Chain A
Amino acid sequence: MKIKIDHIAKIEGHAGFVADIAQGNVIKARLDIAEGARLLEGILQGRSYNEVSQITARICGVCPVVHTLTSLKALEAAMDVFVPPQIVLLRELMMMGQILNSHALHLFFFSLSDFFGIKNDLRLIKKYPQKAKDALLLRDFGNALIDVIGGRSIHPLTPEVGGFKKFPTHKRLKELEEKSQRAISAAERLAKFFGQLKYPAFERNCQFVCLSFPGHYAIYDGEVKSGKSLETASDFMPKIQETQIRGSAVKRSQYGDSLYMVGALSRLNYNAKNLNQRAKAIFRETDLVLPSSNPFHNVLAQAIEMVHCVEESYKLLKKAEALDFEIDPQPFEIKAGKGYAAMEAPRGTLFYYYEVDEEGFIKNANIVTPTSQNLARLEEDLKEYLPSLIGKKDICQKECEEKIKMLVRAYDPCLTCATH
């Protein structure tokens, strides 16, 4: 028997699903990805260090901030550029905005309808007007953080190698601080709501990977944690093996022989002890037991992270009050070098590598996105999950199709990122 879903809506990008099944055995389960090849790593060759982060932002309209910043970090590593703590703080604030605006979009607009069998968000909004308001408020708050610091919420303008082209005023940062109060209540309400949803049962053996930084819920910086091992980005990234399926513009990644999952659930599994207070309290109210190997819990993990990120924004904004941003830009020398960087994107660890020549032009580039890492794991999950859906009769009816889509959406895949 063949299962074929032509189009899975409500994910970032275009994909369908195909599976081959014979007598209850899943022979093949694969996402069919219809994105065109934009050849990002290729077209960066010969372009200047001062523009490539603007180009890579265009990999994804949902998470342009993390692409901009990880690209900058890799360039800074390649050219040994010192980044002052004020700059790091502003970037961290932008990252809180990034995770909030992306999670709000995914949780309410992409994933929630799966739990109620509703196919149209406009109906979902009518059914849960308060939840919709909370999600929109959190998305707006995330956007405002990016807009105030980055100059624009989609494809931010101000971040550059070593710093910013323009700094936010303290007055505008203060306004954000005030906004965070309403955002925290909204995040708590939404997280409690997601805590009460019924998640399908599905346990599997899975390796998790995310950044880890002592005492922090690592987002902007850290070492790559995978089981008991801890490596720097420059050690980990070269060991990621990217493989290609004939005719597909998307690569699948694995680490050595093992498939792994990145994203909110990985972060929660490893770093929950470093969550902020209110996020921790919400987490304790849920039935979630960590480490969880149920991929559907990625949705709940995102909801808990939203509370954490609003709290973190408030803490960072409080710190920002005392800082002077109008410092002279750090002088740096344009020179040849190689640099690796990793950051936690909303969907998981994002890796960048650049080799720069002595005039600051790109010689080589590599980008490994969260979805390209998750893809192989997701397909393996689908393979393991399908038999329980089709039963003995080898048929995949509506309910089975909906569950397949639900599992795909739980990973929050971004196929435009994966293709790049």
Chain B
Amino acid sequence: MIKKPNIAIISLTCCEGCQVAILDLGERLLKLTEKVKIGDFAMLEDYPEPENFDIVFVEGTPITSENIRRVKNLRQRTKYLITIGACACLGGIAELKNYQDKDQRLRYVYKNVEGIDNPDIKPVKHYVKVDLEIPGCPINKEEFLDVAKKLVAGVFPKIPQRPVCYECQLKRNECLLQKGQPCLGPVILGGCGAPCPSSNYPCDGCRGPLKGAAINNFNNKLKEIYGFSQREIDLIMQRFGMLNDMYPEPPAIKGNLKVNKLID
């Protein structure tokens, strides 16, 4: 156990909703702050930063070169670096432009594009080693509290690999997929408490893919059984920057010629 660990909650470019979720722990957050030292939490204090941290939680997407420098610098100054939220873990909505003509998008928004960074959006783990990811848009604050408490107690937490359907069924929700809605629940990492399908809102994958899920199979079922087009499916999977994680390689289509791999 770390004695009064020095923690920081840092945001790169994002909506800061994950920080707000943490604030919404209210009195439970205050209780937690008795056991930790707050090294940096810009929503709550205005002090200079300490030299080193024990745990740094990072929300947001690295967009500006300053964002990238910042996250690399933080990595060197902390024992644990934990990303929180879809932006930091997957790329988030900022990553939508990766699937579009991003230069056209930049020119559409800004007449004068000089000096505005417009890189391909990559999650934080692309730039630095990440010790744990707490996914979601926004994060589930209960899950955050659980992770934080475990870390303070010296236990390294793990997010159980279960699909969203697991919690959705415990809530006895009617299955949206069976009703013909494009719910990604079966292939998405749970732990959120299934708030979306509980609100008749089909899961759109903000927590990213479940490890080992049969994505291609699921994708084809959405088309064959439920009649969705690939465009409709892609639009949903792009939403939180997940499409490239779902299909690191383009999906294999039966009957197509296989590309010969180079033999070394």
Complex CA gap A55/B17 in Å reads 13
Cβ-defined partner of B17 (8 Å) among A7, A39, A155: A155
Within 8 A of B (CB), among A368-414: 405
Q: Are A416 and B15 in contact (CB under 8 A)?
A: yes
Q: Are A61 and B15 in contact (CB under 8 A)?
A: yes
A48-B114 CB under 8 A given contacts A109-B43, A416-B15 = no
Q: Are B200 and A62 in contact (CB under 8 A)?
A: no
User: Is the CB of B184 closer than 8 A to any CB of chain A?
Assistant: no
List residues of chain B with CB within 8 A of the CB of A13. Answer: 16
A158-B19 CB under 8 A given contacts A39-B106, A51-B239 = no
Among B58-66, B148-156, B210-218, the one that faces the other chain is: B58-66
A34-B239 CB under 8 A given contacts A10-B46, A155-B137 = no
User: Is the CB of B120 closer than 8 A to any CB of chain A?
Assistant: no
Q: Are A36 and B111 in contact (CB under 8 A)?
A: no
Q: Are A42 and B106 in contact (CB under 8 A)?
A: yes
A119-B47 CB under 8 A given contacts A38-B13, A59-B15, A136-B26 = yes
A61-B19 CB under 8 A given contacts A38-B13, A247-B116 = yes
Within 8 A of A (CB), among B111-146: 111-112, 114-118, 137-138
Q: Which A residue's beta carbon lies closest to that of B13? A: A36
Complex CA gap A250/B109 in Å reads 10
Q: How many chain B residues touch the partner (CB < 8 A)?
A: 62
Q: Are A105 and B23 in contact (CB under 8 A)?
A: yes
Complex CA gap A262/B108 in Å reads 26
User: Is the CB of B235 closer than 8 A to any CB of chain A?
Assistant: yes
User: Is the CB of B88 closer than 8 A to any CB of chain A?
Assistant: no
Q: Are A122 and B199 in contact (CB under 8 A)?
A: no
Q: Are A37 and B106 in contact (CB under 8 A)?
A: yes
Complex CA gap A120/B38 in Å reads 10
Q: Which A residue's beta carbon lies closest to that of B202? A: A165
Complex CA gap A48/B11 in Å reads 29
User: Is the CB of A140 closer than 8 A to any CB of chain B?
Assistant: yes
List residues of chain B with CB within 8 A of the CB of A61. Answer: 14-21, 138
Given contacts A9-B46, A64-B17, 17 further A-B contacts (CB under 8 A): A36-B94, A37-B117, A39-B108, A42-B97, A42-B104, A42-B105, A51-B235, A110-B43, A121-B44, A121-B45, A122-B38, A139-B24, A150-B199, A248-B115, A249-B110, A416-B14, A416-B16
